[in-house]
Amino acid sequence: MTDNGLLLIIDAQYDFCEASGSLYVPGAGKDMERLASFIKDGGKKFRDIVFSQDTHQVIDISHPAFWTNKEGKNPAPFTRITVEDIENDVWKPFFGKESGVKYLKELDKQGEFPHVIWPEHCIEGSKGAAIVDVVMEAVKDWERPRNKSHKVIQKGKSPYTEHFGIMQANVPLDYDSDTQLNISLLDSFIDYDTIYIAGEAQSHCVANTVKQLLVYPGIADKIIILKNCMSPVAGFEHLADGIYSQLKSKQFIEV
């Protein structure tokens, strides 16, 4: 008999999980091996599997090419950009100074993470955006005898806002429904007794997914974190401690 659980896999993609990926998360390779074993050995715990898939273009608010300085040069990866940087013309965004200031002020207003420039990653259609083989093969093996199909939720396709959490973009855009709260996905979560969460990175996209779910009491209590199936981005190890501290100790398990 299958338990009424959901396995929610966040951004188990080549660019994050393989050492040659453009935004490799140290430890992610082993995380994905453990996750694959959990799918194989613990597959009766859940009846559905949902992936999130980070999906970007080269010109993206999180990528260097979106920003230039007075010399026309792009920022290096891991550069932090502030409102003051834009107002003082240190960095000029692709979509204009006024929009850049408005975006970063909204990030701050909503209590989101500071804006950081990442290496180009998870470019739509590229190898870097693909789910890593070890996890995908485990999922396919799980599906065949059950006549099941996994679901993939793409996030990050808008170049004008970051999209860490699976439920909505960091700053939802009025004109782009893909950046707004995914109500149908949220409604589907109510049907499960348990929501197992794994993936990359612990410090960013997993943490923000958890943050977005915590505001819904009927869903927050269902969350189980597979804590040894995720790792933080190097240099951001404690960024999301405040988010995870809102969970009960019994909501963290190792597999």
pLDDT tens digit sequence for 203-224? 999 999 999 999 998 899 999 9
List, for residues 174-207, the tens digit of each pLDDT value: 999 999 999 999 999 999 999 999 999 999 999 9
Residue 53 bridge partners (DSSP)? 154
Show contacts of 151-154: CB within 8 Å, 24+ apart: 151/48, 151/49, 151/50, 151/51, 152/50, 152/51, 152/52, 152/53, 153/50, 153/51, 153/52, 153/53, 153/182, 153/185, 154/52, 154/53, 154/55, 154/178
Which residue ranges form the domains of the chain, and what is each CATH number? Answer: 5-55+124-253 (3.40.50.850), 64-116 (no CATH)
Residue corresponding to tokens 């453009």: 22
Q: What pLDDT shows up at residue 1?
A: 43
Angle (CA) 114 117 119, round 5°: 145
What parts of the chain have a pLDDT lower than 70? 1-2
Q: What pLDDT shows up at residue 243?
A: 97
Reported residue count of the chain is 255
Percent of the chain residues topping a pLDDT of 70: 99
Residue 115 bridge partners (DSSP)? 81
Q: How many CB atoms are located within 10 Å of the residue 159 CB?
A: 17
Q: pTM (2 decimals)? A: 0.96
